């Protein structure tokens, strides 16, 4: 069974600091996704990582994928308050009928204090 674990689940940090969120998954998968969710809002796609060694950056966020280690990281550089949100990673699972699903991590709630 494919499982996706994120850590930490909760992170409170100061503005200007750097930090990393980790996403581990239990079996081989082709793709990994990072999403952001603001309180009371829907999920917004941040990054799609399609291969081993993939690295993508958008502003102060950078995501990477190591398929051999079954690990993805979301790195936050010089955090600002606007990045406060819950971040989810998700991994593809191909079911027996060839229908793809996303298996989701529990989410990391990030609070950035001024």
Partner 1 sequence: ETGVTQTPRHLVMGMTNKKSLKCEQHLGHNAMYWYKQSAKKPLELMFVYNFKEQTENNSVPSRFSPECPNSSHLFLHLHTLQPEDSALYLCASSQLYPRGGYEQYFGPGTRLTVT
**Site residues (vs partner 1, CB under 8 A):** 31, 33, 40-45, 48, 88, 92, 95, 97, 99-102, 104-107
* CA angle, 55 then 61 then 63, to 5°: 30
Interatomic CA distance for residues 48 and 54, integer angstroms = 9
Distance of closest approach, residue 48 Cβ to partner 1, in angstroms: 5
Q: Which is nearer to partner 1, 80 or 111 (CB)?
A: 111
Q: Which is nearer to partner 1, 55 or 106 (CB)?
A: 106
Q: How crowded is the C-beta side of 91, counted as CA atoms within 13 Å?
A: 24
Distance of closest approach, residue 14 Cβ to partner 1, in angstroms: 25
Distance of closest approach, residue 41 Cβ to partner 1, in angstroms: 7
Q: How crowded is the C-beta side of 41, counted as CA atoms within 13 Å?
A: 12
């Amino acid at each position: 069974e494919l499982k996706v674990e994120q850590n930490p689940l909760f992170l409170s940090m100061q503005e200007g600091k750097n930090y990393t969120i980790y996403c581990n998954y239990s079996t081989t998968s082709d793709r990994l996704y990072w999403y952001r969710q603001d309180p009371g809002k829907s999920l917004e796609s941040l990054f799609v990582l399609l291969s081993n060694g993939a690295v993508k950056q958008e502003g102060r966020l950078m995501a990477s994928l190591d398929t051999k280690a079954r690990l993805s990281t979301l790195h936050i550089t010089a955090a600002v308050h606007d990045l406060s949100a819950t971040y989810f990673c998700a991994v593809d699972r191909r079911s027996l009928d060839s229908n793809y699903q996303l298996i989701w991590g529990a989410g990391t709630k990030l609070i950035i204090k001024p």
